[in-house]
Amino acid sequence: MEKDKIDDLEMMDLPVEEESDLGFTEWRKDEKTLLNLGLPEEERDWFCDARPQVHKKSPKIIEDFLNWARAESLWILAFGTGCGAIELRPLLTARYDISRLGMAPRPTPRQANLFMIGGYVSIKTLKRIVRSYEQMQGPKFVVAVCSCAINGGMYWDSYNTVKRIDEFIPVDVYITGCMPRPEAVLAGFDRLKQLIRAGKAEGQNLYAQNFDYYKANQKRIIKDWNMPDYNW
């Protein structure tokens, strides 16, 4: 399922709502520069105003080798938004032990390359998710754990949660369940490794390519936008 999704997304440019509440054309100066209008005027100089760029891959043989290294050394930024976060603890301890797969938790987004969203995403949390995701350095991968991150789950008709995290940041692998067992999470990580090794986990490039789409969706939900338009 993930394979088809990735293939499809690589092909198409996602549609952008031209007339969103804030009007997406207002927040960018031109193709490359962002205005950072959410910030007070005196703070705008402190932040970068460049858009993320699509990064070219290395020649195939080198890229395959690097992808192998990326798959064998996944550093997790665990974002415990909901109950799914509790599944990370058994994964780290003696019974399931993900360190034997070359995975380790990493407390800072700068050094992590796997973003693990553990459960429902409230509107307040979405802002932090976007900030953390954009601070990670690419290639970066996203795994969404639990039904709530996929379709809202038991919070389907809640006024305060977003249903599909996929509309705000590109997700590589979904792990279903309420909550998924650690075995299911391990299977999800295994699937992610396959995608990385096959060179199909290019979420970072997808985000840069469809930046307008993602940003418009984010701005539609996050009303108190008091951060740069792209958090380097």
> What token pair was written down for 46?
């402190």
Q: Which is nearer to other proteins, 81 or 204 (CB)?
A: 204
Residue 83, C-beta contacts closer than 8 angstroms, at least 6 positions apart: 118, 119, 146, 179
Give dist(CA 167, CA 207) in Å, integer: 11
Sign of CA dihedral 181, 186, 189, 190: negative
Q: What is the DSSP letter of 120?
A: -
Site string for other proteins, 7-46 (x = CB under 8 A): ----------------------------------------
Find the length of the chain: 232
Q: Which is nearer to other proteins, 93 or 226 (CB)?
A: 93
Please report how close the Cβ of residue 69 comes to other proteins at its closest, in angstroms.
4
Asked if residues 112 and 75 have their Cβ atoms less than 8 Å apart, the reply is yes
Residue with tokens 């690419």: 138
Site string for other proteins, 81-120 (x = CB under 8 A): ------------xx--x-xx-x-x-xxx-xx-x-------
Give dist(CA 144, CA 142) in Å, integer: 6
Binders in 131-170 for other proteins, by CB under 8 A: 137-139
Please report how close the Cβ of residue 95 comes to other proteins at its closest, in angstroms.
9
Q: Which is nearer to other proteins, 5 or 106 (CB)?
A: 106
The yes or no reply on residue 69 touching other proteins (CB under 8 A) is: yes
Residues lying near other proteins in the complex (CB under 8 A): 55, 66, 69-70, 72-73, 93-94, 97, 99-100, 102, 104, 106-108, 110-111, 113, 137-139, 204, 232
